[in-house]
Chains A and B, each alone.
Chain A
Amino acid sequence: GEDVEQSLFLSVREGDSSVINCTYTDSSSTYLYWYKQEPGAGLQLLTYIFSNMDMKQDQRLTVLLNKKDKHLSLRIADTQTGDSAIYFCAAKLDSNYQLIWGAGTKLIIKP
């Protein structure tokens, strides 16, 4: 079946950039999403990118999409302690619009 993979952990120093990576298998995915889950909370949509785009920037967030390699990344500039969370990558299948989720990457901020 379709699959989305992410590393489980990423540790960065406060003030550095964080880059969270994701790979997916369905080349026809129309939309790719990044969700953020803070401790004790549900998931919140951070940003998304349509499959005909290579890059999307929104303040400190930059999403890069490499369709050829089926690779998605989320860059967070100037990482702050408030960015500590689990970041989920999800791909929307073109066939039935169902979301396929990754297992989430826990972002750990070191002082």
Chain B
Amino acid sequence: ETGVTQTPRHLVMGMTNKKSLKCEQHLGHNAMYWYKQSAKKPLELMFVYSLEERVENNSVPSRFSPECPNSSHLFLHLHTLQPEDSALYLCASSQDWPGVNTEAFFGQGTRLTVV
């Protein structure tokens, strides 16, 4: 398997649930990202991991908790979410961070609905 793979593709969860999103990359990249995509809004960078260390956290609420156990895997743990957190969550990877010309490769995303 190649590229960036995200599971699950769709997730519906209640506001009191705890769930996790998973991302896996088989590209040998050193950097991985979580983005939030909401309709008609720019992509929002949530977290960046470089060599398994968190290097960016863009004022994301603590109900989102990332984890990067190794350079190939990235998780986003979710708990007590709000309906406004419903969105498409995209994982991406790139060769390095930061980089002058580092192409980001994206997964297909997890469509999250909070009810």
A residues engaging B (CB < 8 A)? 4, 8, 30-31, 35, 40-45, 48, 50, 88, 90, 92, 96-104
Contact = CB atoms under 8 A, between A and B. Distances in A.
Interface of B: 4, 6, 40-43, 45, 56, 90, 92, 97-109
Nearest to B3: A42
B42 A102 contact: yes
Contacts of B100: 30-31, 92, 97
Contacts of B107: 42
A103 B45 contact: no
Given A30-B100, A42-B108, A43-B106, A8 B40 contact: yes
B98 A103 contact: no
Contacts of A45: 103-105
Contact of B45 (A44, A99, A102): A99
A103 B40 contact: yes
B102 to A, nearest CB: 8
Given A31-B100, A97-B99, A44 B42 contact: no
B108 A40 contact: yes
Contacts of A98: 45, 56, 98
Contact of B90 (A4, A8, A31, A42): A42
Contacts of B6: 42
B90 A103 contact: no
B107 to A, nearest CB: 5
A18 B8 CA distance: 34
Contacts of B101: 31, 48, 50, 92
Contact of A42 (B97, B103, B109): B109
15 contacts: A4-B42, A31-B100, A31-B101, A35-B106, A40-B108, A41-B109, A42-B6, A42-B109, A43-B92, A43-B104, A44-B106, A50-B101, A101-B42, A101-B43, A103-B41
